Amino acid sequence: MAILLVEDAAGIVAFVRRGLESAGYQVIVADDGIDGLVMALSSEVEIVVLDLGLPGIPGEEVLRRLRLRRPSVPVIVLTARDSVSDRVANLDAGADDYMVKPFSMSELLARIRARLRSGDQGRGDVLAVGPLMLHLGAHTASVDGRTITLTAREFALLEVLIRHPGQVFSQTQLLDRVWGYDFEGASNVVEVYISQLRRKLGGDLIQTIRGAGYRLGTGTELE
């Protein structure tokens, strides 16, 4: 599946692309409205993440033309404009969802999953490593069949780890992927959430690598 990101800010492109690719999506990037419209009309694109302030032609015009040619492709508008009138205008113009910058990568991923589920285009519903299973649709986890309820942040953090079993993530990398590039909260927030996940999951599923960060053990280690 391909997600088209139409955005001209290099920093946001890098941030979003990294987050989407780490979640297993193929990402296509256009940095102006003209190229964005051409790419959005391609049948390989299954969802569009669209900025409004684009060179070439503005995002509003991209959305209008896209709706004439591909009325059913999901479009998530990504913009710094946060007035109620802007939101209403773009939703009325055909946007399926609307996110205001700065934003959290975990929220963007959740909204993308919701759009894809609603269109019956979703990817696999369950991720599993050893006894641990992550249920994407229900936003829950289970260990040896025991269901565990997670908060949105806990779910997003565990999703990053379970998609890359054995890979070590630093606190900075996890902050970037789960809380967003603009996060200015407590410096120990990753440690706090890892501790919460460990209490809920039990055992040694999430491992601390001294001086490096955290990882989820591989399937062999967890069984």
- How many domains, in total, are found in the chain? 2
CATH number at 200 reads 1.10.10.10
Q: Same domain, yes or no, for 75 and 48?
A: yes
Pairwise CA distance, residues 28 & 31, whole Å: 10
Exposed / middle / buried, residue 220 (Cβ in 10 Å: 0-12, 13-18, 19+): exposed
Structure token pair of residue 52: 């409004």
* Nearest of 60, 101, 95 to residue 81 by alpha carbon: 101
Q: Same domain, yes or no, for 67 and 147?
A: no
Structure token pair of residue 198: 């460990």
Q: Same domain, yes or no, for 157 and 132?
A: yes
Q: Same domain, yes or no, for 113 and 130?
A: no
Q: Same domain, yes or no, for 113 and 9?
A: yes
Q: Same domain, yes or no, for 106 and 55?
A: yes
Where the chain has pLDDT below 50, the residues are 120-124, 220, 222-223
- What does the pLDDT read at residue 79? 85
Concatenate the DSSP letters of all residues of 13-74 into one string. Answer: HHHHHHHHHHTT-EEEEESSHHHHHHHHTSTTEEEEEEESS-SSS-HHHHHHHHHHH-TTS-
Q: Does a structural domain hold residue 221? A: no
Q: Same domain, yes or no, for 43 and 12?
A: yes
The per-residue pLDDT for range 139-166, each reduced to its tens digit, is 778 998 888 888 878 888 998 899 888 9
The amino acid occupying position 85 is S
CATH number at 39 reads 3.40.50.2300
The per-residue pLDDT for range 125-138, each reduced to its tens digit, is 678 888 899 887 66
Pairwise CA distance, residues 217 & 148, whole Å: 19
- What does the pLDDT read at residue 177? 80
Predicted TM-score of the model (pTM): 0.55
Q: Same domain, yes or no, for 54 and 94?
A: yes
Q: Same domain, yes or no, for 28 and 75?
A: yes
Domain extent for 184? 126-216
- What does the pLDDT read at residue 183? 66
